[in-house]
């Protein structure tokens, strides 16, 4: 039995447990949170699932009658992949700091970071060998784990559709309508982000928007200005405006209609 198939069965079984225990959450005093799933040494509790459901419902998802079971399944699968990726990264390459994925696209890659050697993975693969595709990597000054208010991730816009080439799809709002979620996990946590702006700009000094230089806001005004600029440059309005305290990622790749252009997909963490 594969790990994923096993998780599907366990999620269904755990959902039956949820239905019997959910009423216990309504009592504020004297109630101990219940563990409903364990993947390796990672636990999922009822409150974890309820928080996930609240966030999904806030963004117009999770209204289906099977939503809780499906959400639990996704959480368990994410924990399984997270646990395996953590083990593999420790054995294979200590520069790996996370994993990024967009469902239904080729994007499903490890994320690298070398704080002492910027752009090391621009033309190197996971095994540190020369590669035209390079690797997906985080800007060296960003804190992946805290995390920084904004983490910029770089990837090539490959003609074969690999790496960050799928970001081109989000120039058109109908693709955002179909799927606006990005899964970006660290080695210790898993998170879901929702795209709030897609824009292009020039990387020439003094000509474009220096989105990558925004890492941590000194105050609310600075954060709001960054978000406002992203939305002003956006191809379309998503109706989403991150607020001070939210955590952002900017996925950056080459764009070819501008001189030294960059296509940027900016997303806000929702879980």
CB half-sphere exposure, 92, CA atoms < 13 A = 14
CA-CA distance, 227 to 248, in Å (whole number)?
Answer: 10
Distance (Å) of CA 71 to CA 21, 34, 53, 57, 141: 17, 17, 7, 12, 33
Q: Taking Cα atoms as reference points, which of 93, 88, 90 lies closest to residue 125?
A: 93
The answer to whether residues 35 and 45 touch, using CB atoms and an 8 Å cutoff, is yes
Per-residue pLDDT tens over the stretch 157-212: 999 999 999 999 999 999 999 999 999 989 888 899 999 999 999 999 889 999 99
Per-residue pLDDT tens over the stretch 51-62: 888 877 776 766
Task: Tell me what pLDDT residue 22 has.
Answer: 39
Task: Give me the sign of the Cα torsion angle 20, 25, 27, 33.
Answer: positive
Strands 181-186 and 192-202 turn out to be antiparallel
Task: Tell me what pLDDT residue 85 has.
Answer: 64
The answer to whether residues 87 and 55 touch, using CB atoms and an 8 Å cutoff, is no
> Which stretches of the chain score pLDDT less than 50?
1-31
The answer to whether residues 56 and 67 touch, using CB atoms and an 8 Å cutoff, is yes
CA-CA distance, 44 to 209, in Å (whole number)?
Answer: 40
The answer to whether residues 250 and 153 touch, using CB atoms and an 8 Å cutoff, is yes
Task: Tell me what pLDDT residue 87 has.
Answer: 64
């Amino acid at each position: 039995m594969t790990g994923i198939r096993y998780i599907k069965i366990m999620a269904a079984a755990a959902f039956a447990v949820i239905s019997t225990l959910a009423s216990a959450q309504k009592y504020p005093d004297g109630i101990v949170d219940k563990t409903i799933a364990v993947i390796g040494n990672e636990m999922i509790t009822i409150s974890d699932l309820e928080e996930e459901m609240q966030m999904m419902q806030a963004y117009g998802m999770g209204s289906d009658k099977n939503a809780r079971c499906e959400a639990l399944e996704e959480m368990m699968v994410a924990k399984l992949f997270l646990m395996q990726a953590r083990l593999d990264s420790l054995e294979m390459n200590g520069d790996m700091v996370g994993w990024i994925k967009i469902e239904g696209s080729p994007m499903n890659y490890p994320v690298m970071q070398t704080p002492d050697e910027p752009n090391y993975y621009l033309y190197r693969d996971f095994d540190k060998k020369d590669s035209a595709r390079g690797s997906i990597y985080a800007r060296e000054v960003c804190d992946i784990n805290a995390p920084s208010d904004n983490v910029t991730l770089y990837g090539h816009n490959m003609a074969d559709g690999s790496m960050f080439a799928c970001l081109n799809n989000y120039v058109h709002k109908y693709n955002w309508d179909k799927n606006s979620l990005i899964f970006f996990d660290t080695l210790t946590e898993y998170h879901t982000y929702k795209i709030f702006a897609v824009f292009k700009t020039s990387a020439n000094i003094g000509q474009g928007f220096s989105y990558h230089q925004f890492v941590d806001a000194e105050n609310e005004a600075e954060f709001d200005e960054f978000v406002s600029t992203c939305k002003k440059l956006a191809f379309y309005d998503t109706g989403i405006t991150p607020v001070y305290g939210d955590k952002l990622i900017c996925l950056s790749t080459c764009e070819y209609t501008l001189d030294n252009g960059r296509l940027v997909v900016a997303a806000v963490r929702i879980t």
